Structure 1
Amino acid sequence: MIRVKSPQDLGAGLVFIAIGAAGIFFGRELTYGSAARMGPGYFPTILSYVIIAIGLIIALRGFTLDGPSIERIPLRPISLVVISILAFGFMIEIIGLALTTILLTFIASAARKEVNWRETAILSIILAVMCVVVFVYGLSQPMPAWWGR
């Protein structure tokens, strides 16, 4: 009977294999070509096979080397970060870059168990000013800097 000694390695290897298989699947209609005359599918296909090989090596390590078990997925941090990204996308046109940056900083910081709201307020203000200076004024990105503009 084969025993899994490192579930994390086995899981990571299976994820690599799945990503490599997806690369081969989605790139199957691209012209492969040859090493001398590479087509648009040459590099993605080779890279996908390399990713599968890495996945196999990592998965095999899961059967040979001792390692930690798979931990519970922390849903709170993941969901709050995703919510902050979605809030940014929805709110930037309504309240502008500066206020949206402050909002998403507060939402994302709530992902931590012990939040220092004073530090978060200072960080959010600094980030908002920096984002407006860099993206709106420095790079001239077409986004509203402030509410109503």
Structure 2
Amino acid sequence: MNIIRNPKDVLSGLLFIALGGLFAWQTLDLPMGTAVRMGPGYFPLLLAGLLGGLGLVVLINGLRFPGEMPSGVAWRGLLILTAAVVIFGFAMRPLGFLPAVVIAVFLSALASSKFNIVTALSITVVMAVFSWAVFIKGLGLPLPLLGPWLGGY
């Protein structure tokens, strides 16, 4: 009897656990603080723990429920999502927060093989408003909405 019933979920779970462990290890040199007065390592360690916990759930499901073998790497999605993250990083300073979010989210939507322009534009608008509400209004981060290339600052 084969103990691994869903190799795709088992591999994904192991990857999540490994990444969570790596991220947790990277926070060990940072001061943790307390739940009331969080240090710079508190939230990253919490997220690493959540990632590892999610990986454990996915791993257990891969051992319990049948599934399919991994079929290969979705190169288009991998390359477009990587490009979206890199472009977001490079676009933040010259274009500002909102244009960088809009570009990154729209590019991310292009990664899907089921791309639909109406859905992509809808997701882009929702994510731009959500990002503005959370990071600018909610958290009060001093991020410029528009950068110098678009007349901001």
TM-score by length of 2: 0.53
AA of the residue aligned to 2:143:
M
Q: For structure 1, which runs of at least 5 residues remain unmatched after alignment?
A: 27-53
By how many angstroms is 1:69 displaced?
3.4
For 1:71-91, what per-residue CA distance to the aligned partner results, in whole angstroms no more than 9, with x for missing partners? 111111122112111111111
Partner of 2:102: 102
Partner of 1:111: 111
8 Å CA contact 2:92, 2:100 repeated in 1 = yes
8 Å CA contact 1:98, 1:128 repeated in 2 = yes
By how many angstroms is 1:67 displaced?
6.5
Partner of 1:51: none
Identity of aligned residues (%): 18
- Mean Cα deviation higher: 83-92 or 117-126: 117-126
- The change in CA–CA distance for 1:69 and 1:95 in structure 2 (over 3 A counts) is same
Partner of 2:128: 128
Q: Number of residue pairs matched?
A: 112
Q: Where does 1:75-94 land on structure 2 (aligned, <5 Å)?
A: 75-94=75-94
For 1:78-120, what per-residue CA distance to the aligned partner results, in whole angstroms no more than 9, with x for missing partners? 2211211111111111111111111011110111123111221
Q: Where does 1:11-50 land on structure 2 (aligned, <5 Å)?
A: 12=11, 19=18
Distance in 1 separating the partners of 2:105 and 2:92 = 13
Distance in 2 separating the partners of 1:69 and 1:133 = 41
Q: For structure 2, which runs of at least 5 residues remain unmatched after alignment?
A: 26-55
By how many angstroms is 1:12 displaced?
3.1
TM-score by length of 1: 0.55
8 Å CA contact 1:97, 1:128 repeated in 2 = no
Answer with 1 or 2: which has the greater Rg.
1
SS in 1 for 2:89: helix
CA RMSD of aligned residues (A): 3.8
Q: Which runs of 4+ in 1 moved over 3 A?
A: 66-70
